[in-house]
Amino acid sequence: MHDGESARGKGQGSGKLRLPPLNALRAFHAVARHKSLRQAADELYVTPQAVGQQIKLLEDSLQVALFERKGRSIEPTEAAILLAHYVEAGFAEFAEGVRRITRSSYRDRINLNTSPYFATNYLLRHLSEFREEMPNLDLRLTTMIDLPDFARDDVDMTVQWGYGNWSDVECTLLVRDPKVICCTPEIAARLKTPTDLLDCTLLDTVKSKRLWNDIFDHLGVAAGERHGSIGFDDAASMRRATLQGIGVGLLSPHEADADMRAGALMAPLGRDVLADMPEAQVPGFYLLVPRGHLRVQGVAALHRWMVAQDWNHDLRHPDPARDDRAGRVAS
């Protein structure tokens, strides 16, 4: 056995796993994302041949086939798909670590992003409590409808509306967002049964095309030809459209209650007709954070505080003054 083999044998015998070369992992990371040697080479500023050599080096090191050629394209093997998940997480950790130590003036700053609706209707009411519990934490709050890019947008955690199907981050439900079917009194006069909804313009959310389908299933309405729908990317725009009589909207309970108290809207099928929908079909606001971010003390502290709050209290005890103000703005 020559010296190199002796060294490998010693390393293996000690139980310490020898990792492949970092350059080979970088090449694999790029190829796995692009599924193309040429595009990976463009990203890494090298030739496709150099990328191919690094992939071969990695396969030889691991003794595992990672890609299969299919015509002019390549496809990852099952082993490559599994490895790519961990390599992606590893490089994300590298990037976060570098960001944390090089931006010294921002080390103690925590950047929280939320949907505009959650910020207005839930979070702002609790910020004074947050300052009392964590007075030394420098919090920066931004709002965005779409899911941010955590690295590019410099976001530590975000609150997003949906159904909890984010698999690559720590995902925690904060509060459900049940809906009330609402419309103007003029439209309500034509709605006698759930089936009548098929003849109306339905106001929809572009973030989830399943909401009305789930509602129809719950109400026992067979799928049929619909009059049409209009999609909105935020709840405020849907509410305004509902108030203007453009169609039948889906409002959160406290907004629906405020508009019904004002006589602007009605719930023609009953305010609580959707109250017993299965939880899996009820959207909500979820706290999302890359798992590596939780290693930062301030991020972990904010995460614990967010999870510990009783956000459902705001559903049970809405602020009438806030809702009435919002109703006047919407109208």
In this predicted structure, what is the pLDDT of residue 316? Answer: 57
Query: In Å, how far are 21, 52, 76, 79, 176 from 37, measured between CA atoms?
Result: 18, 7, 12, 18, 44
DSSP 143-173: E-SSPP-TTTTT-SEEEEEESS---SSEEEE
β-pair type (109-114, 157-162): parallel
pLDDT at 327 (0 to 100) = 41
Copy the structure tokens of residue 89: 């997480």
Residue 280: predicted pLDDT: 92
Condensed to tens digits (0 to 9), the pLDDT of residues 160-171 reads 999 999 988 999
Q: Which 8-state DSSP code applies to residue 126?
A: G
| C-alpha to C-alpha distances, 121 to 131, 140, 247, 282, 319, nearest whole angstrom | 18, 18, 24, 18, 9
Distance CA 57, CA 36 (A): 17
- Sketch the domain layout of the chain as residue ranges: 3-102, 104-177+283-330, 180-281
Q: For residue 328, what pLDDT is reported?
A: 40
Predicted pLDDT at 319:
53
**pLDDT value at position 17?**
77
Which residue ranges in the chain fall short of pLDDT 70? 1-16, 100, 102-108, 223-227, 314-331
Region 3-102: CATH code = 1.10.10.10
DSSP, collapsed to helix, strand or coil, labels residue 28 as: helix
Per-residue model confidence (pLDDT) at position 163: 93
Edge-to-edge order in the sheet of strand 109-114:
138-143, 109-114, 157-162, 284-289, 170-176
Residue 15: predicted pLDDT: 60
Superfamily per CATH, domain 104-177+283-330: Periplasmic binding protein-like II (3.40.190.10)
Per-residue pLDDT at 109: 79
| DSSP code of residue 136 | T
With H, G, I as helix, E, B as strand and everything else as coil, classify residue 201: coil
Enter the tokens of residue 24: 């080979």
Q: How far is CA 88 from the centre of its chain?
A: 18
**Do 104-177+283-330 and 180-281 agree at the fold level?**
yes
With CA atoms as reference, report the closest residue to 291 among 174, 171, 141, 140.
171
DSSP E strand boundaries for 201-282: 202-205, 229-232, 249-251
Residue with tokens 């098929």: 198
Helix, strand or coil, per DSSP, at residue 196: helix
Q: Which CATH class is domain 180-281?
A: alpha beta
Characterize 57-89 residue by residue with b for buried, 16 or more Cβ atoms within 10 angstroms of its Cβ, and e for exposed: bbbeeeeeebbeeeeeebebeeebeebbeebee
Q: What pLDDT, on a 0 to 100 scale, did the predictor assign at position 317? A: 57
Task: Please tell me the predicted confidence (pLDDT) of residue 315.
Answer: 63
CA dihedral 85, 91, 97, 99 (to 10 degrees): -120
Measured between alpha carbons, how far is 53 from 24 in angstroms, rounded to an integer?
A: 9
- What was the pLDDT predicted at 58? 93
